Structures are given as C-alpha cells and as structure tokens.
Structure 1
Amino acid sequence: MEPIDPAFMALLDEEYEKFKVTDSHSLLKKHLTQEVFDKIKHRVTAEGATLHDCIKSGLANPDSNIGLYAADAESYILFQELFDPVIDEYHGGFEPSQFHPISDFGDPIDLGDLNELGNYVLSTRVRCARSIEGYPFNPLLSSEMYAELEQDVGYALEDLEGDLSGKYRSLKDISSEEQEELLEKHLLFKQGDRFLEAAGASRFWPEGRGIFLNENNTLVVWVNEEDHMRIISMQEGGNIGEVYERFVRAVTILGERLPFSSSERLGFLSFCPTNLGTAIRASVHIRLPLLGEDRQTLEETAAKFNLQVRGTSGEHSEAEDYVFDISNRRRLGLTEMEALKEMYDGIREIIQLEIDMEEGNSQCRKKSY
C-alpha cells in the first residue's frame, strides 16, 4: 500500500484540530486523544482504509453519539487503539483481552408473549447485521462491488422455503410511491441519514440496494443499507418467542449459504462498532403513557437491563403518542440467547412498572371522590 499523500495528511490534521475544539460528547471525541491520533493517523489497511474513512462521520457530525465506523474488517485491528476503548465503553465493559463467546441461540420457547400482562407492545422485531467476507464496508465499496454483493445475497435468499420464502426486489425497481408505503410500515430503509451519508454509506445510491419480503412480511432482509445485510423477523404484538424462532431459522439458513464476516475476538463484524458480537438488536414498539411522562424513570429502568430507549423512527427521533422503541444495547460479550433474555426481562419489568403506575393513579382517583 502506498503511503498517504502529504496533502491528505495535512487536511486530516486540520480537520482533527477543528474537531478538538467542538462541544462534542461523542465516544470518538472522548477516545481520539492527540496521542492516539498521532499514533494511528498514518496507517492504511490492505483494502485502502484510512483513519479518515473511519472517523469522517464523527468529524462532520459533532452531535454523534459514537462518531466512528469501520471501513473494513481490518480497521478493527489496525486502528484498535481507537476502536477498543469505544467498544469497551459502549458494550458495558469489553476489554482488549476479552473474547466474544461462541454463538448460542438457545431455545426460543423459553421466551413468551410480552403482552401477557396487557396489550402494551404494538410490535416486536429481532434483527441482526451481517457482513460478507471478501468485501469491505461502505466507504470502500465500488459500484461494481455493490452489484456483486446484491447478486450474491439474492441467490442465497432464493433458497428460503416454507414460511420464509418470498421475493427480492432491487430498490431501483420499486416506485417512489411504493417505497413510501413500505417506509410507513417500517419495512424499508431510506436514504438521507446524515450520519450514514457522512460515513460514506450512501454512495452510488440506489445501486446494489434492495429488499426481500416473505409472503406475510414477517421476514425482511435489507441489502446494502448500512450493512451488507440486515436480517429482520417481525410481527405485530408481543410474542417474542415466535419472532425469535423465525429469526433463528432464517439466519441459520443464510449463514450456511453465505460466508459471514467474523473474528474470534469480536464475533460478527459490521460497519458500526455498536453492531458486533451477536450483532443482534431485539426491539419492541411499546406504548407507555405514564412512563412517557416520567422519562427519567423509564430511562433508569431500561438502563438496569442495558436497554436503549428511542423514538419509533430510529435513533435521534422523538416518541409520538407515547410509543417508544426499546431494544437491547449490549450485543458483544454475551450469547444471542442472553441478549434476548436481557431484553425480554427488561420489557416485562417496564410493563409491570407502567401497570403499577396505572393502579396508583386509580387509587388516587378513588380517594378524591
């Protein structure tokens, strides 16, 4: 690999100096110290990834929570002085000496219906990020690579059978009107996220992008959105056992047909360091009117179970009509089943708290008469 051009290095130095004086609270700002910056700024991966490829979104968006993306799998090793402390802090403690455990999906029957105590959960989904070996991540993908990836994944999806079978469609073949309909149903991704765009995730759009849907829209696969693949099992209501069982079958079959990128230490690898290890995000859309008025209590309760609370339109969005998207935060250093159980237990506790608050209000109203 040729050394980095001096003019490029001068520009990187200039951008970093500007970033240092911003009022950013991102993990990038916290851990990219001058010492670390000087140590790793000249490095280039075999695929051609530079430090700038990994931090350019955080530089452009000081309000990022993380601000760091891996441009390829090797970035996690070559720029480990930056990635390791970010990974450690985000995942609640995962030191450089630790190794992600072997996959264990457990038995989905151990997870029940979250609406057993009342109809609070509107919908449930379990999804994961997967990258394909032999390809870099978004900032380094060429237009030809996007097309090749789409073809590889498309062939694998054709092998899904039974309730998993469905149809893959390229994004460029879907009308703007239908895209809007799919977006409203939370079935499709969209272009325009400034954090991903700054990271280089929207290049050559819509080349190589597409969506797979099974017959009843309970299995969805996104191709080349943020990651090479997002595999999603979803349905209305709170039966997380059913959702997870479908998810496990789909991921297992696709993993037999595609070489998923992984490492012994970090588990499955993806574009964002928040999606490592299991790379699983199990979430619910849940209506919580009382806890919605007491956001601090909601956040504190979620934190006990390492859960993340946000609006239903994704990160950085607001909750509408007291409907929240709550999901597991930890994905690294625990098995798939442990991640699901953490989310399951946390949601049950949150629901019980909402019920207790309802009963408390009811008692207060009775006393007032």
Structure 2
Amino acid sequence: MTPKYCSTLLDCIRSGLCRHESGVGIYAPDPGAYKTFAEIFDPIIESYHTGFKHTDKHPATCFGYGSDFPNLDPEQKFIVSTRVRCARSVEGFPFNPCLTKRNYKDLECLIKKPLRALCNEHAGSYHTLGCMDSDDIQKLVDAGLLFKGKNRFLKSANALRYWPTGRGIFINKTCTFVIWVNEEDHIRVIALEKGGDLGRVYERMIVGVESLAHSLKFSRDARLGNLTFCPTNLGCTIRASVHIKLPLLASNRRNFLELAKKHHLQVRGTLGEYSQALGGIYDISNKRRMGLTEYEAVAEMHKGISALIEAECEESRKTRK
C-alpha cells in the first residue's frame, strides 16, 4: 500500500480490469502510487512517452512565449479550432479514488478563491456543477466547454464518487478560457478559440495557470514533473490540439497515421478518444509530455501540424497535375 493514503495495486489497475478497451488502463489513486508501484508504472510511462526511462528526470517548468508560434492556418483552410490545456493537482490532497466528500468540497473552495482575482480577458464566473440546470450543462458539453460526467473509464477507476459534489467550471466572458475543477484532475486549465492561432491560445493558457500558481501549491515530483491522476498526463501535462480537416491525407489512413506518429502526434476523432472523425474533422495533439518542457511540447506539436498541412497541400498539388 502507499504510505499516506493506503492505496493498493487494485486501486491502480481497477479501470483496466473492467475496461479492456482502455488505452492505458491504469491510474494513480494518490501521488505516492508512482513510487510504491513503480514496477508497473515505469514501463508504461516509458512506452507512452516515447522512451522516458526510469533513470530520466523531467526538466523544470519553462513555458516560454506564445508569440514564438505563428498562426498555423492564417487562411483558415484546414484548422477549425485550437485548444491548449494543462493539468494540475493541489498539494496535500490525493487523487479521485481517495478523495472524501469533504475533500471535494474543500478543494473546490480552495480553487475558487484565486479564480475571483482573474482579470481582463480571463475574468469570468464559476459554476458549481450541482447547482447548474441540466440544459445549461448539456449546452456546455455540446460546445466542448464542459466535461462529460459519465466517462466509463473514470467510473471504473472509482473517480466519479460523490458526483457532482465539488465539481465545477470557470468560464471567461468570451468562452475562450475555461477551468475544470475536480473532473479527472483537480484542475484543468484550458484555452481555446476558432482558427489556428496556436501562439495566442497558448499565451492565454500560460497566464491562467501562472495566476493560479500564485495562490495554490501544486503536486510535483523531482523525477516525474507535475503529478496527475493518469500517467499519460505526467510531466509538463500540456495537450495542445487542433480540430483539423485533412481530407486527402486522411484518405490513406495508414500513411496519415504514420506521418502523425513520426511527429509524435496523437490522432483522435472529433469528440476525442474513442470517437469518430465527424465530417472529416480530426482532433490532433502532441502525445509526449515527459522529458520535455511545456514550450518544447507545444513547439513539437506546432512543427507536426505544419508538416501535416504541408502533406495535405502536396496531395492537393498531385491531384491537380
């Protein structure tokens, strides 16, 4: 068992035992699980994060500047929207399977305080999930702004206990900056907008997470970086993604996926993992989050998406000959 919260190996692998279709099938019920059960976590981390070995050390946080990344699609031919998010866990609390009902309420209260101080384009309002109208919840889910409460993988991992206690969402006035509270991780900071201006979206996310860091202390490990519920999000925790149409390139799925893999990109359906590409729109993001800084993760994604767009343009040139 883990020393502080007494989590067991079963708590870690429960979801994978119940859901054989899981991509990874393992979660950390508390921060100590990554050390107590390193024998099972380390090989999975190395496999998912492309070679991050148990002897490697994640680098210090370095966000850099969003202005370094030009618009990926200034003519708006391919990219529908851009989103950048990062996850954070508040130090002193376990993860979902070990959180009590009181913990959820305390966490929500703690996180809400710095949200009131957000200003300018980040200013907005917080909504407790349990106090929201079901129609309003569905509208936000349909718009891609709010998490779904019926995730079967999280349920199998005992991550939906006491739902919706302590869960909520902060939204700015223009719906381009969102913070999820106590869904999969304690905090998900998300910036988004239509089009392909990755630099602007990334900069908005940076300001948001650094504002929270002034008031909250986050869980971090000297080797693994930022600690999260799922090992796929460890390290810098950055997921920079686009909704993009690449009809010619995607017509040859094998080549499409091979090119994405070459650039360490993850290809998902329109609505995320385990979904289909509705209307030919794919959700494509960086896959690696360990062994590289936040800035390097976004730079890798920017380079990869640029390569996919160039490949699509090359296919278009071939068809015109």
Report the TM-score when normalising by structure 1. Answer: 0.86
Q: Deviations over 1:261-316 (max 9, x none)?
A: 10110000000000111011000000111122211111111111100000121111
Return the offset for 1:118: 4.8
SS of the residue aligned with 2:232?
Answer: coil
Out of 156, 173, 182, the residue aligned to residue 140 of structure 2 is 182
Structure 1 segment 1-369 matched on structure 2, within 5 A: 43-116=1-74, 118-363=76-321
Equivalent AA in structure 1 for residue 264 of structure 2: N
Query: How far apart in 2 are the matches of 1:93 and 1:285?
Result: 27
Name the SS for the 1:314 alignment partner: coil
Structure 1 residue identity aligned to 2:281 = V
Deviation at 1:139, TM superposition (A): 0.4
* SS of corresponding position for 1:134: coil
Per-residue deviation, 1:195: 0.9
- Offset of 1:116 from its aligned partner? 3.3
Corresponding residue for 1:31? none
**How far is 1:44 from its partner?**
3.7
Q: Between the two structures, name the one with larger relative contact order (CA 8 Å, sep ≥ 6).
A: 2
Work out whether residues 286 and 297 of structure 2, in 8 Å CA contact, stay in contact via their aligned partners in 1.
yes
- What RMSD over aligned residues (CA atoms) do the two structures have, in Å? 1.0
Aligned positions, number: 321
Which letter maps to 1:264?
A
Q: Secondary structure at the match of 1:116?
A: coil
1:45 CA displacement:
3.2
Asked if structure 1 preserves the Cα contact closer than 8 Å seen for 2:82 and 2:195, the reply is yes
Contact 2:89 2:187 in 1 (8 A): yes
Letter of the 2:185 partner, please give it: D
In structure 2, stretches of 5+ residues that fail to align are none
8 Å CA contact 2:76, 2:196 repeated in 1: no
TM-score between the two structures when normalised by the length of structure 2: 0.98
Q: Distance in 2 between matches of 1:154 and 1:288?
A: 40
The aligned residue for residue 14 of structure 1 is: none
The structure having more radius of gyration, on CA atoms, is: 1
In 1, Cα distance between the equivalents of 2:302 and 2:62? 17
User: Stretches of 4+ moved more than 6 A in 1?
Assistant: none
Give CA deviations for 1:140-187 in whole Å, capped at 9, x if unaligned: 011111111111111121111111111001011111111111111100
Name the % identity. Answer: 47
